[in-house]
């Protein structure tokens, strides 16, 4: 059982998330008053902040360097309101049919290619940057309904068996594509990993808030085979935190937010 002080500390964090959900990043930073300042001359000043950092560190099984304490806590506070954008969807966490009727926009007017407005804006900016580098990228699969995903999974089971399906396809309700923020880019073939487009994305996608969901060598962590084409929009601040504190692992980062910040 956690000590009462820990409960108070998490209440403090969630209170920030609730009151600042409509604020911009700059407004959120400004809302952290001077008395909550984390350090003076590199030394943590506020015991409440220090205790919160230690609680989060323990919860996420992290090993933070003390010089990173301030930036880490500021990142957590900044991302705490992003419960929908950073929702955990994987083999054990389902969104059911809750995202079947999300607010979306169409890519180039194509009814099959639906993304949330924020995702579409970021994708278009990324595609424009790629074109300047002589690279062409486009979406081939975006938002999927529960029913559509069920059809994909059932057909995969029928063709290749349940073990293969579980490795290469998500069960209905468990796909990131339900969110409208996941995009399969250019191809869904393994050969895509060896293209100049895949290399460009690996180098630049994070600058536009996109994160590779199923990296090579991370099968035991994600539960899925390597997919060089499957990116999820989580925002640039989230990508920065993912890369800095979680070794670039989207799965580990989202698990931390789910368990330690959103408390679900």
Long-range contact list for 6-11, CB < 8 A, 24+ apart? 6/51, 6/55, 9/48, 9/51, 9/52, 9/55, 10/52, 10/55, 10/263
pLDDT at 30: 45
Separation between Cα atoms, residue 168 and residue 165, nearest integer Å: 5
Separation between Cα atoms, residue 238 and residue 75, nearest integer Å: 8
Say whether 113 sits in a helix, a strand or coil: strand
Using CA atoms of 31, 33, 39, 41 in order, give the dihedral in degrees to the nearest 10. Answer: 110
pLDDT at 102: 82
CA distances, 167 to each of 104, 179, 225 (Å): 29, 20, 6
Q: Tens-digit pLDDT profile for the chain (264 aa)?
A: 444 444 344 444 545 444 444 444 444 344 444 344 555 445 566 788 889 999 999 999 999 999 899 999 999 999 999 999 999 999 999 999 989 888 999 999 999 999 999 999 999 999 999 999 999 999 999 999 999 999 999 999 999 999 999 999 999 999 999 999 999 999 999 999 999 999 999 999 999 999 999 999 999 999 999 999 999 999 999 999 999 999 999 999 999 999 999 987
17 Cβ contact partners less than 8 Å away, ≥ 6 residues apart: 80, 81, 83, 261
The structural domains of the chain, with segments of one domain joined by +, span: 4-79, 105-247
Burial of 36 (0-12, 13-18, 19+ CB in 10 A): middle
| CA-wise closest residue to 141 among 94, 188, 196, 89 | 188
Separation between Cα atoms, residue 133 and residue 51, nearest integer Å: 46
> Please, are residues 238 and 85 in contact by the beta-carbon 8 Å criterion?
yes
* 207: DSSP letter: G
pLDDT at 88: 98
CA distances, 21 to each of 17, 79, 145, 176, 252 (Å): 6, 9, 27, 23, 23
- β-strands 139-141, 43-44 pairing: unpaired
Q: How many CB atoms lie within 10 A of CB 121?
A: 15
Q: Quick one: fold of 105-247?
A: Muramoyl-pentapeptide Carboxypeptidase; domain 2 (3.30.1380)
Task: Identify the bridge partners of residue 106 per DSSP, sorted by sequence position.
Answer: 114
Separation between Cα atoms, residue 225 and residue 227, nearest integer Å: 6
């Amino acid at each position: 059982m956690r000590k009462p002080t820990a409960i108070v500390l998490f209440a403090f964090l969630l209170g920030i998330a609730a009151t600042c959900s409509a604020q911009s990043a700059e407004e959120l930073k400004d809302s952290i008053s001077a008395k909550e300042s984390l350090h003076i001359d590199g030394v943590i000043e506020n015991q409440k902040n220090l205790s919160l950092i230690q609680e989060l560190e323990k919860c996420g099984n992290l090993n933070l360097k003390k010089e990173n304490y301030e930036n880490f806590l500021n990142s957590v506070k900044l991302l705490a309101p992003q419960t929908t954008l950073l929702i955990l969807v994987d083999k054990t966490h389902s969104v059911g049919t809750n995202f079947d009727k999300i607010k979306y926009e169409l890519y180039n007017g194509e009814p099959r290619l639906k993304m949330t407005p924020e995702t579409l804006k970021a994708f278009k900016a990324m595609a424009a940057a790629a074109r300047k580098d002589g690279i062409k990228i486009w979406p081939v699969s975006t938002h999927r309904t529960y029913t559509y995903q069920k059809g994909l999974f059932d057909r995969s089971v029928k063709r290749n068996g349940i073990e293969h399906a579980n490795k290469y396809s998500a069960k209905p309700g468990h796909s990131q594509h339900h969110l409208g923020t996941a995009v399969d880019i250019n191809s869904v073939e393994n050969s895509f990993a060896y293209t100049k487009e895949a290399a460009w994305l690996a180098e630049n996608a994070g600058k536009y808030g996109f994160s590779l969901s199923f990296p090579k060598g991370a099968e035991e962590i994600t539960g899925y085979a390597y997919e060089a084409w499957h990116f999820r929009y989580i925002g640039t601040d989230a990508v920065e935190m993912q890369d800095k504190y979680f070794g670039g692992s989207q799965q580990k980062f989202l698990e931390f937010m789910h368990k330690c910040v959103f408390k679900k």
